[in-house]
């Protein structure tokens, strides 16, 4: 495997191995400090990011490597009209591996076809975000102790939320997973995921608009932001953005072992009072992102 474009590029044994390596990095960071000495990661971010870009960069630095790149299209020659293909054909002369975020779905696939060096999809439009999914899986494993036999509530913008799409594709490959899809009808999960993934694989799922009614059943509550940047109409965004706000009183009906995940950034969908609850693990999740990306960089560079 040269690139990571889609979470389905990884088999379950490969995902389990990445989680094992990430856990070993957490336990024994000193063993990894020079693994990527003289290697360079290019972060090509044509869309804004805090966690993904900085955790990739921190990951490479903690492996002893170096980082170059840009954090917005306007500061690259994309602003002058350069194509993604020409950009990555240029950057492969300067770096050993590329992490790329792009607003156009499929842009990392195009990039991967044009370069010899590994391309990591760091989010493409409303499509996929496989390294967020790896982060989510590591977090669930560390927090709950298993990746099977789970009831997972996905709440918020299930239409445009690429992290949800990738997470579903990953979790359906584990045993006895049930999904509760909690969204307004305008932001329901796309039909292709319902028909081509959930129905086809005979996965148990429920669609509902009620977070409160779903809460007692959940092992995981995966909250998401309403994706303002993907709306065509500001009025629709304003009408839908605060449909769900998780507050401490709503959590009173949740299992004591339930965990609240959120890929972040949050806007208003989780009140800051929830942060004090031990079940809120979204900042631990963001930290896990660095370790799983370290494991992924090692894998794609072929470093033991």
Contacts with ligand CP by CB under 6 A lie at 49-52, 123, 132, 263-265
Set 40, 127, 129, 142: catalytic member: 129
Set 39, 51, 141, 262: catalytic member: 51
Set 101, 259, 262, 290: catalytic member: 101
80 part of the active site? yes
Set 43, 52, 115, 131: catalytic member: 52
CB closer to ligand CP, 54 vs 245:
54
CB closer to ligand CP, 132 vs 183:
132
101 part of the active site? yes
CA distances from 14 to 17, 20, 21, 121, 129 (A): 5, 10, 11, 17, 17
Task: Compute, in degrees rounded to 10, the torsion defined by CA atoms 254, 256, 262, 263.
Answer: -150
CB closer to ligand CP, 29 vs 265:
265
> CB atoms < 10 A from the CB of 175, how many?
9
Find the shortest distance in angstroms from Cβ 111 to ligand CP. Answer: 18
CB closer to ligand CP, 57 vs 92:
57
Edge-to-edge order in the sheet of strand 259-261: 204-208, 177-182, 150-155, 220-223, 259-261
51 part of the active site? yes
Contact criterion met (CB below 8 Å) for 86 and 61 = no
Orientation angle between helical segments 282-301 and 51-62, nearest 10 degrees = 50
Catalytic residues: 51-52, 80, 101, 129
């Amino acid at each position: 495997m040269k690139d990571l474009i889609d979470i389905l590029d990884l088999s379950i044994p490969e995902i389990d191995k990445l989680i094992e390596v990430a856990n070993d990095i957490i336990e024994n960071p000193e063993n990894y400090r020079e693994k990527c000495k003289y290697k360079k990661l290019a972060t090509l971010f044509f869309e804004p990011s805090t966690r993904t870009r900085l955790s990739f960069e921190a990951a490479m630095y903690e492996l002893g490597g170096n980082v170059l790149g840009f954090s917005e299209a306007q500061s690259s020659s994309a602003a002058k009209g350069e194509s993604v293909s020409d950009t990555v054909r240029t950057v492969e002369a300067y770096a050993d591996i590329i992490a790329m975020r792009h607003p156009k779905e499929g842009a990392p696939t195009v990039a991967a076809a044009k370069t010899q060096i590994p391309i990591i999809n760091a989010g493409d439009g409303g499509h996929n975000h496989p390294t967020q999914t790896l982060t989510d899986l590591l977090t669930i494993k560390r927090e709950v102790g298993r990746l099977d036999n789970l009831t997972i509530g996905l709440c918020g913008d299930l239409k445009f939320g690429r992290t949800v799409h990738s997470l579903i594709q990953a979790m359906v490959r584990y045993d006895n997973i049930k999904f509760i899809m909690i969204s307004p009808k305008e932001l329901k999960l796309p039909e292709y995921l319902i028909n081509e993934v959930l129905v086809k694989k005979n996965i148990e799922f429920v669609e509902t608009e009620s977070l409160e009614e779903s809460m007692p059943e959940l092992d995981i509550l995966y909250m998401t932001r309403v994706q303002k940047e993907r709306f065509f109409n500001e009025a629709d965004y304003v009408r839908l953005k605060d449909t769900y706000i998780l507050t401490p009183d709503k959590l009173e009906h949740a299992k004591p072992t339930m965990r609240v995940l959120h890929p972040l950034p949050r806007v208003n969908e989780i009140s800051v009072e929830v942060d004090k609850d031990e079940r809120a693990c979204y900042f631990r999740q963001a930290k896990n992102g660095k370790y799983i990306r370290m494991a992924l960089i090692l894998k794609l560079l072929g470093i033991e």
